[in-house]
Amino acid sequence: MNSNRLRAVARQFEISGSYLEYRPHGSGHINDTFVAAFSQAGTRIRYIFQRVNERIFQRAEELMDNIARVTAAAAARLEADGVVDSTRRALRLIPARSGKPFVRDAEGRLWRCYLFIEGARTYDIIETPRQAFEAASAFGDFQKLTASIDGPRLHETIPDFHHTRARFNRLREVATVDPMGRLREVAPEWNYIREREEWTDVLIGLAARGEIPERVTHNDTKLNNVMIDDATGAGICVIDLDTVMPGLALYDFGDMVRTATSPAAEDEQDTGKVLMQMPMFEALVRGYLSSVGDFLNEAEKAHMAFSGKLITLEIGIRFLTDYLEGDVYFKTKRPGHNLDRCRTQLALVRSIEVQEEAMNAFVRGEA
Ligand code: ADP
Ligand code: GN1
Ligand code: MG
């Protein structure tokens, strides 16, 4: 990327004023995110520009249709509620001059643009139980919002995204072929995962038997996908809407447990630092139930701790699959990066396993 190319992309959006500068932004594993500043009537205004990874999101235009619907529903709700800072409380897409919610650059690659939410930030690592509470209640509110979206079922932007069984089977296939000759090095991880194979059917089984409902969910509820207000500490806006689609609420709750209870980074190399911290879990449960406690059913509530363990295993499976395949999916910054990430996930699974009874007891007391 360079300034001229970004400026050419920006020109295709309904943005007035003069382009000033841009820089890369964020720490996501899939898309490329930039922040660019413009001078508008004497004020510096920033926008987020994202180049969507169409190798991974092969139905990117459908994905943008989902995002346009979800963000419009959020804006309408905030408007109806008389919220004054509505453009900080939900992502606001900037339309292209063509009228579409995205543009294509000279190479044909798809870009979208959002208003930059000022005075708030995302956290890669949880610092306080308050942040956990705020993140969980924001993601819960988001599920309430998406439950009220009218019209046709949202597009499935990546089919079987949280089909844990399919993720396991895929790892088994890749391990059988072992295209990079890396299997021998990961025998402990692969064995650890194999011993837990039966977990992969649990939530899908509950859904198939009608015991937990399909909902419209976020599906990527990492802590760093919620913006926390710098001044108040409130969770003000859920972001990263690429995977919003029909799914199970428990995968959303579970990914918060995965990303908002441990003091270690997702790619920490010292797995001794990885720990499911009970006060963070308790805050997640309270925050989540404060917004969706009234619509979750008993089976959903009973599997909240399990969902944390399951999705952490699932993401571990995905990191290991990518390592065995030669690091073709997640962005990596060093050799062995995906293996480090896998090991961190498995360490967290272990930490959840030994505390699961206490976690369940806490949920029972709250729900
Ligand atoms: P990725 O899919 O790569 O994770 P995100 O949509 O989560 O991309 O964006 C990456 C980072 O950019 C976020 O963690 C957040 O810090 C920042 N960001 C995204 N959208 C906005 C926005 N509208 N305003 C301010 N910051 C944003
Ligand atoms: C990816 O784009 P990002 O970094 O928010 C991935 C998630 C994983 C996550 C692991 C589309 O999310 O599913 O949970 O990495 N997104 C996609 O950190 O695969
Ligand atoms: Mg993100």
Residues facing 212 on adjacent strands = none
**Cα(365) to centroid(ligand 3), Å:** 32
- Which of 25-34, 241-250, 314-323, 339-348 has the lowest average pLDDT? 25-34
Nearest Cα to 206, choosing from 325, 107, 306, 334? 306
Please name each of the domains of the chain with its CATH number. 3-81+92-118 (3.30.200.20), 129-366 (3.90.1200.10)
| Residue 247 reports pLDDT greater than 90 | yes
Tokens of 310: 């399951």
- Predicted confidence (pLDDT) per residue in 121-168, tens digit: 999 999 999 999 999 999 999 999 998 898 999 999 999 999 999 999
What per-residue confidence (pLDDT) applies to 93?
Answer: 98
Average pLDDT, integer, range 242-250: 97
Q: Is the pLDDT of residue 26 over 90?
A: no
Ligand 1 centroid to Cα of residue 189, in Å, is: 31
Q: Cβ(219) to ligand 1 under 6 A? A: no
Which stretches of 159-222 are DSSP H helices?
Answer: 164-177, 187-195, 202-208
3-state helix, strand, coil in the chain (%, to 5): 50, 15, 35
Q: Choose between 2 and 218: higher pLDDT.
A: 218
Q: Tell me the angle at which helices 249-260 and 129-147 cross, rounded to the nearest 10 degrees.
A: 160
| Mean pLDDT for the chain overall | 97
| pLDDT (tens digit per residue) in 307-327 | 999 999 999 999 999 999 999
**Cα 184 to Cα 170, 176, 191, 325, 342, distances in angstroms:** 18, 11, 11, 14, 15
Tell me which residue has its CA closest to atom 18 in ligand 2. 29
Report the b/e string of 158-185 with b at 16+ CB within 10 A: eeebbebbebbebbeebbeeeeeebbee
pLDDT at res. 367: 85
30 lines ligand 1 (CB under 6 A): yes
Predicted confidence (pLDDT) at residue 1 exceeds the cutoff of 90: no
Ligand 2 atom showing the smallest separation from residue 240 Cα? 5
Write down the pLDDT at residue 28: 87
Say if ligand 1 is within 6 A of residue 31 CB: yes
- How would you class 17 by CB atoms within 10 Å of its CB: exposed for 0-12, middle for 13-18, buried for 19 or more? middle
Do the bridges between strand 226-229 and strand 120-121 make them parallel or antiparallel, or are there none, so unpaired?
A: antiparallel
Closest by CA position to 200, among listed 168, 160, 170, 247: 168
pLDDT in tens, 250-286: 999 999 999 999 999 999 999 999 999 999 999 999 9
Query: What pLDDT does residue 337 have?
Result: 98
Q: Ligand 2 center to residue 29 CA distance, Å?
A: 6
Ligand 1 atom at minimum distance from 117 CA: 24
Whether 27 has a pLDDT exceeding 90, the answer reads no
Asked whether residue 198 carries a pLDDT value surpassing 90, the answer given is: yes
Structure confidence at residue 289 as a pLDDT band (50, 70, 90): very high
Residues with CB under 6 A from ligand 2: 28-30, 56, 220, 222, 225, 240, 242-243, 266, 315
Tell me how many degrees the CA angle 176-181-185 measures, rounded to the nearest 5. Answer: 95
Q: Measured between alpha carbons, how far is 12 from 24 in angstroms, rounded to an integer?
A: 19
User: What band does 58 get if pLDDT is binned at 50, 70 and 90?
Assistant: very high
26 lines ligand 1 (CB under 6 A): yes
